[in-house]
Amino acid sequence: MLLFAANAFAGAKVALTFDDGPHPYYTEKILEILDSYSVKGTFFLVGKQAEKYPQLVRAIRDAGCEIGNHTYNHPRLIHLNAEEIRKEVESTTKLLENISGEKIKYFRPPGGRYYFDTLENMEGLEIILWTINTDDIYKPAHKIYEESIAAEDGDIILLHSGVAQTITALPRILNYFRSKGITALSISELHKLKSAEFFE
């Protein structure tokens, strides 16, 4: 059934996103795999990890991939007050921009959970969630693959940077996408294409 659904969407454009990095080992592996398929992704980085591994933040940038804000400490925002949320967001944006030299445009709340008043503390960042959660932290590689190839046009796929089984699944996912004419993109690339299609 999954194969039929994926085949039906040949020509689809989907976004690949990777949370919780940079990871001292797996981030580089992800970048190598993406590069081997000429694919760009979006990495939602945790500030305290970026501070530890600034060279990996720059490696993501140098690979032509996109960097997003995933808070400094990875807390659940629904448990924080407005000032604490602002600090988590602002400090991470400043840190990532200082390291990468690029403007940060996107924010992903840990766990995807936030209250509407959180929007007041985003400092102009756009919140990006997902439409497919692969649950890659908990699932084996073949299940991550099955979740990912069910993607439809415009889907945003959630993966994580520090997961061994994701490294195993990713080449298979990208090989399937390539064979079926499904294009994997960064969030900005997907936005641009979808906006152009809308106005056409």
Active site residue 23: no
Residues 40, 47: Cα–Cα separation, whole Å = 21
Q: Which amino acid is at 172?
A: R
Which one is catalytic: 79, 117, 160, 191? 160
User: Rg (Cα) of the chain, in Å, rounded?
Assistant: 16
Active site residue 153: no
Structure tokens at 153: 């046009």
The CA-based dihedral angle spanning residues 6, 28, 22, 56, taken in that order and rounded to the nearest 10 degrees: -130
Residues 166, 18: Cα–Cα separation, whole Å = 10
CB 99 within 8 A of CB 50: yes
SS3 for 69? Answer: strand
Which one is catalytic: 19, 20, 136, 155? 19
- Scan for tokens 């439409």, then name that residue: 131
Count of CA atoms in the C-beta half-sphere (13 A) of 35: 12
**Beta-carbon count within 10 A of 65 CB:** 20
CB 110 within 8 A of CB 89: no
Residues with catalytic roles: 19, 160
